[in-house]
Structure 1
Amino acid sequence: MSMTDTRAPEIGEDAVITPRFRTRLRRAVFWIVMAAFGLLVVAVVSSMAGAGSTGAPPLDPTSADPEGAKAVAEVLEAEGVTVTAVASADDALGALESAGDATLFVVDTPYLDPSRLAGLAGAAGSIVLVDPSFPVLQELAPDVRIAGSAGGDGVDAECSDPTSERAERATVDNTYRIDGDVEGCFPVDGDRFGVVSVPGATPLTIVGSPAVFANGSVTNYGNAALALGLLGASDELVWYVPGLADVEADAPPTIGELTPGWVVPSLLLVLLATVAAGVWRGRRFGPLVVEPLPVTVRAGETMEGRARLYQRTSARLRALDSLRIGAIERIASLLALSRHADAGDVSAAAAALTGRSPNEVRSILIDAVPRSDAELVGLSDALTILEAQIRTLTDPTGRRAR
């Protein structure tokens, strides 16, 4: 079909302009593959991240992570101590009542309820408490106050407590100041202590550093001796790591409980109305139908209208580029160049055929920038002359179709 042929192409009755499902699927293959690859990467990263950790809480007696305490628990069991791991205050109370005069080892967590912990004190023979929070100290040991961190260095015992004396030196992180009959060991700056012993009906020992019991640091200094001495004082040990079960009774209301009863039905109604509106306004009754235009617009008029738009906006280079693109395509066809040849290759081949300077031909086809309408007309004429010359040289008889 030539440039000036304005007849509408004939379309059969069975022709469908709307893309079929297979066509859309073929176009979407790249994005489907990319999405699948992204999901695969996420799955691999998640599995690698999860492989290095069991997700157990700190000082869990069944965890072999550096923050877990499986090593201490296994050594205690090997020495004849029965270790009972619990995750709620109710289970801890049941274990203490069945075990009798047992040691209660408590790891302070955000789930620990100070009032319920105080209720366990009467059932335990002794309590070892690790890194307690301020509310827990106020409930169990009001004469002990948090005094800041010591940096996790090793500190000498320097006290008369037999268990601490056997350890000689241990890791001290959080420290405490004491009043009354409370005894402190592992002093820092003279008035702060890493381990505190509170006398009473149920003796309480407060250890400020979880590193004393953790797998990754229990072998440092005398941590192992201190941990085994504190937890192995009796044949029964209840290892209590508070969990979610401790907050179920006092859990805050859920969003459903806080939401008024009319909100959910209203949201469902809005959702259904949105879906109905989308179906109503977005429906299509079938494929698009091609209809002939009521008038035929000649190619010359279209070209003239576009040229006037270019002239009104002073888009001289854009207009010239449109002419150059058509000329380069026709010249490449005349020179029998590959369809992959770029403008530089076409320019070089045209210069070799016509004998013109390569810079001159390249300027006409590529480089020259019109600064005025006169220069635009001049370059347009130069394009026409160059194309005519190449047409003559490639077909001296003048029989080649234009």
Structure 2
Amino acid sequence: MTAISDAPVTAHPRRRAALGWIALAVGLLLIGLVGTTLVYGGWKEKGLLDPESPAPDGARALVRILEQQGVTVTVARDRATAERALAGSDATLVMRDAPMLSDATLSSLAERARDVVLVEPRSRALDVLMNGSALGGFAADRAADPGCDLPAPEAAGTARTGELMVPGQGVDGCYRVDGDFGLLSWETSDGRTVTALDGTSTMTNAALPLDGNAALAIGTLARTGTVVWYVPSPSDADAGTAPQTLGDLTPPWVTPAILLLFLSGLVAAIWRGRRFGPLVTERLPVMVRANETTEGRARLYAAAGDAPHALDELRRAARGRLVRVMGLATHTPPEQVADAVAERLGADRGAMRGILITDTPTTDRDLVAASDRLRDLETSVRAALSTERTTR
């Protein structure tokens, strides 16, 4: 007979329940954070060409150099601040792409400045502010010669290009690569100058020391004594021009459905959370006969058509019984058990080893015959031992 029962419970139920609730709370917090991000907009890239960022993709080094050259740099992080800084002064407006501004607002802001430098040119801004210019290819930060007679590129010499552009009518191009240009410059009818170049390849803290990037950046931005560096903010958006979020693009029923699913999951988690901890805390008084386990395994092997494994299971059980009957050590090797049986019965050792170890059945008929031999062998051993006890 073999007794099967559960192990004593050692974990503290209260501690396990508390850990379960903490894990549930953290999971719900993460789900809410991800859901909010997906519905109301994705992560925003920060620090790229930021004039106050010391990161490799920031532009603080260029700002410090301009200030050492006597140029006043004003950082405007919203449109109102930029407009106030540009009012009443001949300043250079430096700006990244501002998709939240309408064409009219973009033109109005540019007209307030003496010069405009687009450091993250996009097709819309190029078309609106540079007489129909557009984006071209990309030169993978390849160095190029200016190839033009504009003052800043001519003084800088070789510089990095990055984003390439196609000039509009009357727009000058420098740093020609594969038919496109890495820098565009256009003088408007009222005497203003609009320049476009890929600032990520020339003006960042990491790119500034390369080739003639520093000279090109300083020569482009320092043409006036004042620089207004405009960092667009989502709050600057004109009515109806803000970029659509995922929530704007989905049908109206999607958000309520997501909230309903979230609440359903929360209710289900609270309901199932009551079952945290061990399911069974008491010992189970279950008793299973050892031969039932052996016979069950043998039936499974037989049902699977695996006669060798089924016979191995029967042999293992038979050898265990013979060991107990003959008084051998529990961990006696199978070969020694077979030799002891042969000696007890006066039989051939090879035949005994074949019955108890080596014979391999190939069919169910062979398995039945081998099982019968095992049973007869056990019966013979028990009879021999009984005779010995009687004669004594």
Q: Extract unaligned runs of 5+ from structure 2.
A: 28-43
Distance in 1 separating the partners of 2:183 and 2:357: 85
**2:318 matches 1:327:** yes
Taking the TM superposition and a 5 Å limit, the aligned residue runs for 1:12-161 are 56-97=46-87, 100-108=89-97, 114-161=103-150
In structure 1, what is the Cα distance between the partners aligned to 2:92 and 2:258? Answer: 54
Compared CA separation, residues 118 and 352, structure 1 to 2 (3 A)? farther
**Other-structure match for 1:192:** 180
**Cα distance, 1:137 vs. partner?**
1.3
Please give the secondary structure, in 2, of the residue aligned with 1:323. Answer: helix
Asked whether the equivalents of residues 294 and 314 of structure 2 are also in contact (C-alpha less than 8 Å), the reply is: no
- Cα deviation, 1:214-258, whole Å, max 9, x if unaligned, reads 222221211100101112222322222334334585354774995
**Does 1:214 find its partner at 2:214?**
no
Task: Give the aligned residue type for 1:349.
Answer: Q
Matching of residues 290-309 of structure 1 within 5 Å: none
**CA apart distance, 1:319:** 4.6
Give per-residue Cα distances to partners, 1:179-213, cap 9 Å, x unaligned.
Answer: 54322222335x63322211123311111453111
Deviations 1:40-96 (A, max 9, x none): xxxxxxxxxxxxxx9634212223333222221222223332323333333322332
Q: What secondary structure, in the 3-state scheme, does the structure 2 residue paired with 1:380 have? A: helix
**1:166 shift after superposition:** 1.1
Distance, in Å, in 1 between the alignment partners of 2:169 and 2:304 is 92
Note closer, same or farther for the CA distance 1:359–1:19 as it changes in structure 2 (3 Å cut): same
Within 2, Cα distance between the matches of 1:195 and 1:299? 87
Cα distance 1:168–1:390, how it changes in 2: closer, same or farther (>3 A)?
Answer: farther
Tell me the C-alpha RMSD between the 2 structures: 5.2
Deviates most, 80-89 or 230-239: 80-89
SS in 2 for 1:152: coil
Task: Single out whichever of 194-203 and 245-254 deviates more from structure 2.
Answer: 245-254
- Separation of aligned partners in 2, 1:266 and 1:68: 39
Structure-2-length-normalised TM-score: 0.66
SS in 2 for 1:175: strand
Summarize the Cα distance change of 1:246–1:301 in structure 2 as closer, same or farther, 3 Å threshold.
closer
Q: Give the 3-state SS of the residue equivalent to 1:337 in structure 2.
A: coil
CA deviations on 1:273-312 (whole Å, 9 max, x unpaired) are: x86xx89xx9xxx999x999xxxxx999999999999888
* Change in CA separation of 1:369 and 1:245 when aligned onto 2, cut-off 3 Å: farther
Relative contact order (C-alpha < 8 Å, sep 6+): which is higher?
A: 2
Deviation at 1:105, TM superposition (A): 0.8
In the alignment, the residues of structure 1 paired with residue 140 and residue 298 of structure 2 have an alpha-carbon distance, to the nearest angstrom, of: 79
1:169 aligned to which of 135, 145, 158? 158
State how far apart, in whole Å, the 2-side matches of 1:265 and 1:179 are: 48
- Whole-Å separation in 2 of the counterparts to 1:243 and 1:329: 82
Aligned length, in residue pairs: 344
In structure 2, what residue type is equivalent to 1:346? P
1:156 and 1:133 map into 2 onto residues whose CA distance is 23
Q: Deviations over 1:159-179 (max 9, x none)?
A: 222212210221123333335
Q: Distance between the aligned counterparts of 2:263 and 2:46, measured in 1?
A: 43
Q: Deviation at 1:119?
A: 2.1
Give the residue type in structure 2 aligned to 1:118.
Answer: S
Tell me, in whole angstroms, the C-alpha distance in 2 between the residues paired with 1:177 and 1:215.
27
Q: Which residue of 2 aligns with 1:348?
A: 335
Identity of aligned residues (%): 31
- Indicate conservation of the 8 Å contact 2:115/2:194, yes or no: yes
Instruction: Give the structure 2 partner of residue 378 of structure 1.
Output: 369
List alignment gaps of at least 5 residues for structure 1. 3-8, 10-16, 40-53, 293-297, 339-344
Is the CA contact 2:298–2:314 (under 8 Å) kept in the aligned structure 1?
Answer: no
Change over 3 Å in CA distance of 1:322–1:265 after alignment to 2: closer
Larger mean CA deviation between 238-247 and 159-168 belongs to 238-247
Instruction: Measure, in 1, the Cα distance between the counterparts of 2:7 and 2:193.
Output: 81
TM-score, normalised to structure 1, is 0.65
